[in-house]
Amino acid sequence: MNYKIDNLQYCNWSREIFKINREAGLDAVHVTVVYHEDYDEFLKRVEEWNIHFKENSDLIFLGRNYKDIEKAKNEKKTAIFFGFQNCSPIEDDISLIEKVHQNGCLFMQLTYNNQSLLATGCYEKNDSGVTNFGKEAIKEMNRVGIVIDMSHSAEQSTLDAIEISAKPIAITHANPSFWHKALRNKSNNVLKNLADSGGMLGLSLYAHHLKDGTDCSLDSFCKMTAKTAELMGVKNIGIGSDLCLNQPDTVVEWMRNGTWAKSKNYGEGSKKKSGFPKQPNWFIDARGFVNLESGLKKVGFNNDEIFGILGNNWFNFYKGINGSTT
């Protein structure tokens, strides 16, 4: 059985997008439900998703573990897995980790670009690594079955998380810095340590993470994938597209600035190009998976390797996610 999994999307969710994901054949999608929200605001996001599940029950349902990916495949639906791009919902209370898991959270980033109570973000000049609270949080996340995600974290913090975690971690949406030196992309050292620990990298299709941005070619992306497979091993690579379909530019401004800044932070954009960048024309939405399949074949991957990158590797990673409360 082969699966298709996109392990990161943050779209302006609608029935139209759920249909697109089904048309693409996606059996599972890891969705961002939180950027800067606190615990109570997270619960509101859960309520909003419950409405989506009720109104679109023919297309989607909440996923809890790998068996729901199998169920989605059999029922021709998409299992939705919740994730946080920041640790803000646990506030400064470690007991909230189990509560967010009980409400569906399966992935949590320790940081979103900036310093958090748990670790250092990739936009900070000084990387002090995982904090004391972060070490305790990682242990608790391991216990309950939440995956540590270091997509927006700085180098030493990421290396610390890999070492501290008793279970493999994930970088759900990023690319290698050898290909494109975006702040968010990852060094060879991080990627090697991630692979050696059994972790997963989700390759990103977000234009700011791509060489040549929106003009990035499919061939360039697939050749980068091949080189990354040589570095990490092909079984440690999947897709985390970071699609943000139909989101207004005010959302990316909020993502970058939260509630703590009055000055404008343009992230890896600029004052003249402050909004969401356009997708490359070969990956406008998840239906671009078919282009990835053909592109990966052209650069030399065999069918088993292609099916792994497009979903089976993530499926196997999900099979290893478990905690003492599940």
Q: What is the average pLDDT across 312-320?
A: 97
Q: Tell me if 256 is assigned to some domain.
A: no
Q: Tell me if 140 is assigned to some domain.
A: yes
61 three-state secondary structure: strand
173 three-state secondary structure: strand
What pLDDT is attached to residue 114? 86
Q: What is the average pLDDT across 25-51?
A: 97
Provide the b/e sequence for 307-323 (b: ≥16 CB within 10 Å): bbbbbbbbbebbeebee
pTM: 0.95
Q: Tell me if 272 is assigned to some domain.
A: no
Q: Tell me if 112 is assigned to some domain.
A: yes
Q: Domain with 125 in it: what CATH number?
A: 3.20.20.140
292 three-state secondary structure: helix
How many angstroms separate the CA atoms of 24 and 314, rounded?
17
How many angstroms separate the CA atoms of 25 and 8, rounded?
15
Does position 255 have pLDDT exceeding 80, yes or no? no
Q: Tell me if 188 is assigned to some domain.
A: yes
How many angstroms separate the CA atoms of 5 and 8, rounded?
9
Q: Tell me if 116 is assigned to some domain.
A: yes
* H or E segment and range at residue 237: strand 237-239
Q: Tell me if 257 is assigned to some domain.
A: no
6 three-state secondary structure: strand
Number of domains comprising the chain: 1
Matching residue, tokens 């890896």 = 268
How many angstroms separate the CA atoms of 97 and 15, rounded?
30
How many angstroms separate the CA atoms of 6 and 8, rounded?
6
One-letter identity of residue 299: V
Q: Tell me if 67 is assigned to some domain.
A: yes
Residues of the domain holding 186: 5-248+277-319
Per residue in 216-245, pLDDT (tens digit) is 999 999 999 999 999 999 999 999 999 999
Q: How confident is the model at residue 27 (pLDDT cuts 50, 70, 90)?
A: very high
